[in-house]
């Protein structure tokens, strides 16, 4: 199959599997979404969703969070991993939001990525899931599947993976497809559950693949 044919098949099957794509992180405001996405780095969405109710009961706006001692935040978010850096970043970015943005979450990649603890992927999730801006954030699931499905070849750079995904799929599909790939990766094409020869999409894209596909980590 050509890459264009693989992309068309992938899009069709994912739309059949996941016609609806609810945001996995539970939140009630743009600020809560930003903090939840920040916490999800190297952590499961399920664990984040268990931690954030307690955190947001303590403070659910930047106006309140800026006054919470980092050690208090740390105790709450400790199960998420990287808690010392994340707790410090949450308090600092909250102060910045109050001082520079009147407590609102900025709506550009540049402004978001300038906030403590916010990288390109976090900014992309906020822009796509929060503001509806076309983006294609690449997490570990997407990076893995893009290689297994032949959408990207290099595999050692998430920037390259993101660029290849954007080139392969229509822009109008990016935000939904980002979540669909994550859902599929968790359910059918996990790191251990599929080696590039097990799930339906892998078998269809590469029917004669004889050996386990080796993923290149970013």
**Domains of the chain by range and CATH?**
3-20+136-205 (1.10.1670.10), 30-130 (1.10.340.30)
HEC string for the chain? CCHHHHHHHHHHHHHHHCCCCCCCCCCCCHHHHHHHHHHCCCCCHHHHHHHHHHHHHHCCCHHHHCCCCHHHHHHHHHHHCCHHHHHHHHHHHHHHHHHHHCCCCCCCHHHHHCCCCCCHHHHHHHHHHHCCCCCCCCCHHHHHHHHHCCCCCCCCCHHHHHHHHHHHCCHHHHHHHHHHHHHHHHHCCCCCCCCCCCCHHHHHHCCCCCCCCCCCCC
Which of these is catalytic: 139, 166, 195, 216? Answer: 139
Q: In whole angstroms, how large is the CA radius of gyration of the chain? A: 18
Whether 45 is catalytic: no
Tokens of 80: 């998420």
Going residue by residue through the chain, which has 218 residues, state the pLDDT in tens, using 9 for 90 and above. 899 999 999 999 999 999 999 999 999 999 999 999 999 998 999 999 999 999 999 999 999 999 999 999 999 999 998 999 999 999 999 999 999 999 999 999 999 999 999 999 999 999 999 999 999 999 989 999 999 999 998 667 889 999 999 999 999 999 999 999 999 999 999 999 999 999 999 999 999 999 999 988 87
Question: Burial level of 123, CB count in 10 A (0-12/13-18/19+)?
Answer: buried
Whether 164 is catalytic: no
Residues in the chain: 218
């Amino acid at each position: 199959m050509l890459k264009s044919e693989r992309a068309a098949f992938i899009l069709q099957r994912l739309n059949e599997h996941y016609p609806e794509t609810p945001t996995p992180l539970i939140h009630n405001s743009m600020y809560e979404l930003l903090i939840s996405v920040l916490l999800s780095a190297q952590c499961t969405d399920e664990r984040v969703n268990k931690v954030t109710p307690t955190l947001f009961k303590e403070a659910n706006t930047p106006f309140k969070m800026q006054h919470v001692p980092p050690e208090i935040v740390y105790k709450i978010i400790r199960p998420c991993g990287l808690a010392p850096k994340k707790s410090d970043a949450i308090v600092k970015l909250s102060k910045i939001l109050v001082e520079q943005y009147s407590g609102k979450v900025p709506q550009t990649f540049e402004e978001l990525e300038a906030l403590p603890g916010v990288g390109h992927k976090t900014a992309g999730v906020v822009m796509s899931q929060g503001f509806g801006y076309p983006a294609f954030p690449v997490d570990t699931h997407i990076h893995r599947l893009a290689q297994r499905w032949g959408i990207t070849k290099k595999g050692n750079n998430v920037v390259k993976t993101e660029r290849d995904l954007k080139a392969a799929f229509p822009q109008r599909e990016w935000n939904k497809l980002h979540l669909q790939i994550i859902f599929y990766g968790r359910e059918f094409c996990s790191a251990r559950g599929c080696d590039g020869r097990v799930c339906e999409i892998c078998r269809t894209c590469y029917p004669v693949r004889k050996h386990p596909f080796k993923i290149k980590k970013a």
